[in-house]
Amino acid sequence: MSPRVGFFVDGFNLYHSLATLAKESGDQSVKWLNLAGLAHGTLPLVSPSASLRSLHYFTALPEHLYLTEPGRLRRHQAYLRALTAHGEVRPAIVLGRIMQQQVSIQVAGVNVSGRVWREKGTDVALAMALLREASLGDMDEAVIISGDADYLPAVKVFREMYPRIGLRFAFPRGRASKELSREAPASFTLNSAAYRSHRLPNRIRLPSGKYLHCPSEWRPPGLNS
């Protein structure tokens, strides 16, 4: 029997991995990542006969940057449109929020307070979607693309509730977790080749008939004119 696999993508954890690779290589094009292609490419690591049952992408729009860095917001919006317009398997996108949080640090013996913007709700939304998909009975294996150890409690609950469903992590490059590896020993790590071999097309036809183009900042070197 071909195991049915559900993928659950922690968008921020994955993005930080992509951003690090882009900075190291000087190639921003890895950020135009085809999530469905990446999932299909990793299926053999689950089982030679595995099939992609579902794909879920959890992220949040950086709307707080609409005045200071509007380009970042536009690129993120374009990416979400591209994901939902290309390919036979398109991710279900779940949007969280980016909120201000008060922080305090000590510098040279002096407490300094300030506010930072942080994503909220992604881990909870992902955990709930994981349990919901398992309850439907349409999934034999689950893969979480993240290296965030905050998922450890959810993994333990999931194993208690659904011991017959396999669970592993696909750690984004540079973001592996020893804690998660111990709890899910069949986990594996995505490398830079996996990112580079699964890019969305530079031009994607939308349902309206118009075309969406990859942002110029994310095009491969030599194609950004």
Q: What is the 3-state secondary structure (H, E, C) of 18-68?
A: HHHHHHHHCCHHHHCECHHHHHHHHHHHHCCCCEEEEEEEEECCCHHHCCC
| pLDDT score at 109 | 67
| pLDDT score at 219 | 93
| pLDDT score at 225 | 47
| pLDDT score at 96 | 79
Q: Which sequence spans correspond to the domains of the chain?
A: 4-218
Beta-carbon count within 10 A of 78 CB: 17
Q: What class has domain 4-218?
A: alpha beta
Residues in the chain: 225
Question: Using CA atoms, how far apart are residues 185 and 169, in angstroms rounded to an integer?
Answer: 9
| pLDDT score at 107 | 62
| pLDDT score at 114 | 55
Which residue has tokens 């917001």?
A: 73
Question: Using CA atoms, how far apart are residues 95 and 63, in angstroms rounded to an integer?
Answer: 12
Write out residues in the chain with pLDDT < 70, as ranges.
Answer: 62-68, 97-121, 222-225
Contacts of 48 (CB under 8 A, 6+ apart): none
Please give the single-letter amino acid code of residue 68. T
What's this model's pTM, rounded to 2 decimal places? 0.87
